[in-house]
Amino acid sequence: MSDNGHGPVDLDSALHPYRGKFSSHTKLPSAGIARDAVLNEMQTISGLEEKRWRDGYASGSVYHGGQEHIDFLNKVYALNSQANQLHADIWPSAFKFEAEIVSMVANMLNGDPDKGVCGCVSSGGTESIMLAMKTYRDWGRAEKGIAEPEMVLPISAHPAFDKAAQYFGIKQVKYALDDSFRADVKAAEAAITPNTVVMIGSAPNFPYGTIDPIGELAELARTRGIGFHTDSCLGGFLLPWAEKLGYPVTPFDFRVPGVTSMTCDTHKYGYAAKGTSVVLYRTPELRRHQYFTTSDWPGGLYHSPTFAGSRPGGLSAACWASLVTMGENGYLQATKSIMDAVNTMKDGVKSIPELRLFGDSVGVFAFGSDELNSYELLDAMSAKGWALTGLQFPPGVHVSPTLRHAQPGIAERFVSDLKDAVAHVKANPNPEGGMAPIYGLAATVPDRTVVHDLLKNFMDMYYQV
């Protein structure tokens, strides 16, 4: 059993809301269905799904969402929908767009392409991070003879680093945060071993939106000849502009001498369509450890810079179009409106005595409570239509505010709904149903393999027709 915010529901139905309501196919239809019929059904489904994100109820998810912007990106995608970077001879435009995206993002993050800062476009933050980690594994092996590579990272770093560690056989040495929800520099130093190939910091991290002390962490790495990766997937397109607006952004980018690579997602606050991100390296030599080449295949000489073979050139075209039409002024304005909404939302949290903010963040923020169950609070917010994220260790609620929250009245609605939710949870502790018991259980089960199995069952269910 689970909960949709309005009482207990069956998990299977919650994951498959369209069963019995729309056409469903377990085998190819013997005769193709009319295009109009397919389009009609899709329009109905997308109409059902857009309300929550369009009206600013969702944390993150859709970072721009303005209709004109979406229509424009869709037009650009349509023009380029057949393009494939694997066939650069047919579509040289695809690499023109990607080379310029990399250069624009590098410059935004104070990396000078003329001094060697370079990178690649990938399919998203996770791929960018995994590419960087594979790069350090291969760099460590080639340059330092490290056969059993290790990465040193705070517990708040994104799970993409865990995925890279699993996929590429890199040992993780994780350490705790300090009281301000930032990486603890002393603990980081203690975690370094002769096998460390890379250290990691986030600017900001996903759970709390806090910026790790990148300057100090990267200096530890630099003085030991270790790589340092700043993960700015989430905030890479927000922090540079927040800094210009006067918000307290501590140095996190290529201005920090020890930073040797970064990740920055164009498909988040870069306002591109979903499916692009950028991984940057301080030197072309480092990037070469990312590349894949083979010379012995009967199908010919083969090379590919990222994980995929064929790639959607249309997404890179749309990403480029988002960057050049937004421009510096567009990003500055967008960040200003988002930060105004953030200030209203955070002031609202601060005004509620039962709640406390987790650390000093810029943009993304999180809060919890010493007296109330945060997951019951999350359920009460879900009942009002909000789609926020639950945190664990400690329990809390995360919010990634976007341009959707910068629409008139949305931040104020967040505050009044939160006040109502707090009052509701105080008046109705330990309710039946909802996600709260599931979150609570998942956080306390000592045997974590049970939780892993649960999550795998969950994914199996998604794939049931």
Ligand X SMILES: Cc1ncc(COP(=O)(O)O)c(C=O)c1O
Residues in contact with ligand X by the rule CB under 6 A: 124-126, 129, 158, 160, 202, 205-206, 231, 233-234, 265, 277
8 A C-beta contact, residue 319 and residue 272: yes
**Least separation in angstroms between CB 290 and ligand X:** 17
Q: Which is nearer to ligand X, 65 or 437 (CB)?
A: 65
Q: Which CB, 9 or 175, lies closer to ligand X?
A: 175
Q: How far is the CB of 267 from ligand X (least distance, A)?
A: 6
Question: Which of 64, 158 has the CB closer to ligand X?
Answer: 158
* Three-class secondary structure of residue 144 per DSSP: helix
From the CB of 266, what's the least distance to ligand X, in Å?
A: 10
- Least distance to ligand X, CB of residue 121, Å: 13
DSSP for 55-85 reads: TT-BSSS-S---HHHHHHHHHHHHHTTT-BG
Residue with tokens 């790589």: 227
Task: Find the residue with minimal CB distance to ligand X.
Answer: 125
**What is the strand order of the sheet 389-391 is part of?**
356-357, 365-368, 396-399, 389-391
Query: How many residues appear in the chain?
Result: 465
- Residue 70, classified by CB atoms within 10 Å of its CB into exposed (0-12), middle (13-18) or buried (19+), is middle
Q: How many CB atoms lie within 10 A of CB 337?
A: 14
Shortest distance (Å) from residue 261 CB to ligand X:
13
Which residue lies nearer to ligand X by CB, 150 or 265?
A: 265
Residue 398 has a CB neighbour count (10 Å cut-off) of: 21
Nearer to ligand X, 196 or 276 (CB): 276
Structure tokens at 333: 């304005």
Query: Measured from the CB atom, is 217 or 372 closer to ligand X?
Result: 217
Q: How far apart are CA 422 and CA 381, in angstroms?
A: 9
DSSP state of 148: S
Please state the closest distance from residue 460 (CB atom) to ligand X, in A: 21
Cβ of residue 129: shortest distance to ligand X, in angstroms?
A: 6
- Beta bridge mates, 390: 397
End-to-end CA distance of the chain: 19
The residue among 206 and 439 lying less far from ligand X, judged by its C-beta, is 206
